[in-house]
Amino acid sequence: AATAGAPRGAFILFEGVDRSGKSTQAAKLVEALNAQGTRAELWRFPDRKGTVTGKAIDEYLSATAAAVSSSGTGGTEGGKSGAGLSDQAIHMMFSANRWEKSRALLEALQQGVTLVVDRYAYSGVAYTAAKRVPGCGVAWCKAPDTGLPAPDVTLWMALPPGAAAARGGFGGERYEEAGFQEQVRGVFAEVRDSSFVDVDASGSVEEVHQRASC
Ligand code: TMP
Ligand code: MG
């Protein structure tokens, strides 16, 4: 039940390509909000642990390059049923992963908790549409997320092309490849909406934190 009289919490979303600093900045923002007496929680998508879809998504993302090149076959790899999911099926999994958490998300906001969220539906659209699979354009990609709770603000971690890849530290997960990341960035630019606010994500962790928290 909603806490009587409590103002609704804010839904603050971080979006950006891999290695743009979202996770670091989201964690720092939660810390700062709690320190100033605002109840805040860090959420992230995909939610790999507290969901039915999380395990398949985790298997899909950690599958090897060999599995990537055979994606679309719907086959399996090493008994990990998530690894060989088609592009369409994994897209639905990512969306379902958000829907699995949508009720809890709304409840937390109603109880006055501010949610700082690391990736959401914009990532869902950007990563799938960037694959340029015939029939899976932006409109198709957006459809399963229609009706999800919407963020109050989307902090876009803005970096010049190539800067995220230059940071290194791509961990070998699927999608962590410079060329593909540039395609992802292009779709983000196409699907950004009025919730987007650009945060200059270059410079030190502390510098970016100051920009992200004003
Ligand atoms: P992470 O690096 O933030 O843990 O996210 C894992 C990967 O999943 C990342 O490359 C972006 C991708 N992704 C999608 O493809 N679709 C989605 O809906 C989400 C939330 C993430
Ligand atoms: Mg990643």
Give the pLDDT confidence of 115-148 residue by residue, as tens digits.
999 999 999 999 999 999 999 999 999 999 999 9
Residue 75 lies in a domain: no
Q: How far apart are CA 83 and CA 95, in angstroms?
A: 17
Residue 21 lies in a domain: yes
Question: Which residues approach ligand 1 with their CB closer than 6 A?
Answer: 18, 45-46, 61, 94, 119, 123-124, 127, 175
* Ligand closest in space to the Cα of 174: 1
Nearest atom (ligand 1) to Cα of 23: 3
Nearest C-alpha neighbor of 97 from the set 152, 56, 147: 56
Residue 22 lies in a domain: yes
Q: Count the domains in the chain.
A: 1
Is ipTM over 0.90? yes
Pocket test of ligand 1: the residue of 44, 98, 119, 122 to mutate, having most ligand atoms within 8 Å of its CB, is: 119
Residue 185 lies in a domain: yes
**6 — pLDDT class (breaks 50, 70, 90):** confident
The domain of 134 spans: 11-50+99-212
Residue 138 lies in a domain: yes
Q: What is the pLDDT of residues 31-66, one digit of tens each?
A: 999 999 999 999 999 999 999 999 999 999 998 655
What CATH number has the domain bearing residue 153? 3.40.50.300
Residue 134 lies in a domain: yes
Return the number of other C-beta atoms located less than 10 Å from residue 143's C-beta.
Answer: 12
What Cα–Cα distance (Å) separates residue 205 from each residue in 16, 42, 115, 167, 209? 15, 17, 21, 13, 6
Output phi, psi for 131, to 5 deg.
-75, -15
Residue 3 lies in a domain: no
The environment of the single-atom ion ligand 2, i.e. residues with CB closer than 5 A, is: 18
**pLDDT reported for residue 120:** 98
Residue 20 lies in a domain: yes
